[in-house]
Amino acid sequence: MNDDRKKLIEECKRIEKDSHYTAETHFLIAQKLTRKNMIIKYIPTVVSFVSQAVLVYAIISKRDIIFQLLSLLISVGSTAVSFFNLLNDTDKKIKEHEFAGKMFTALKHEARSLYQTFEPFLDEQAFLREVYALREKYNLLVKSTPITDNKSYEEARCRIRSENY
């Protein structure tokens, strides 16, 4: 095997590794957003329900107006948080990160199969074109998927290294 072919195989391995880390980062972000989404969707609903129940109780039992106003303010605050959640559209962000994770996972498998399975059957120019196309696909995915953050990347890297995911 000549040096050029070795370089192309190394490039496939680099694309595979980069795709693996990027996919894991997107899946991790989607997981975090899902947890956050559960909290910001259900807690305001529960708080609003309890507040309404307290308000009804206060009205029926003729409690202080302060008690009623406090209950009303909590309910209004909970409604504002719910409205903010609608504008935030966390569900869309979760789907975008899950989709990005799937796309990078598919690219990872494509890179692996190219150098492990198909490489022996391709002449050097065909192999070069395939590797170049993979790199371009990776770059396009990076440009078109949601941005990740360093903290999530580091967490994903630790999970991959410990093989605990």
Residue pLDDT tens, the chain, 165 long:
689 999 999 999 999 999 999 999 999 999 999 998 888 777 777 777 777 777 777 777 776 677 677 777 777 777 777 777 777 778 899 999 999 999 999 999 999 999 999 999 999 999 999 999 999 999 999 999 999 999 999 999 999 999 754
Domain that holds residue 25: 3-162
Q: Cβ(93)–Cβ(83) under 8 Å?
A: no
Helix (H, G, I), strand (E, B) or coil at 146: coil
What does pTM read for this prediction? 0.79
Total count of domains within the chain: 1
Give the model's pLDDT for residue 79: 76
Q: Which long-range contacts (CB under 8 A, 24 or more apart) does 108-114 make?
A: 108/15, 108/16, 108/19, 108/20, 108/23, 110/134, 110/137, 111/12, 111/13, 111/15, 111/16, 111/19, 112/12, 112/16, 114/12
Q: Cα dist. 163→12, 50, 79, 85, 159 in Å? A: 21, 44, 42, 35, 6
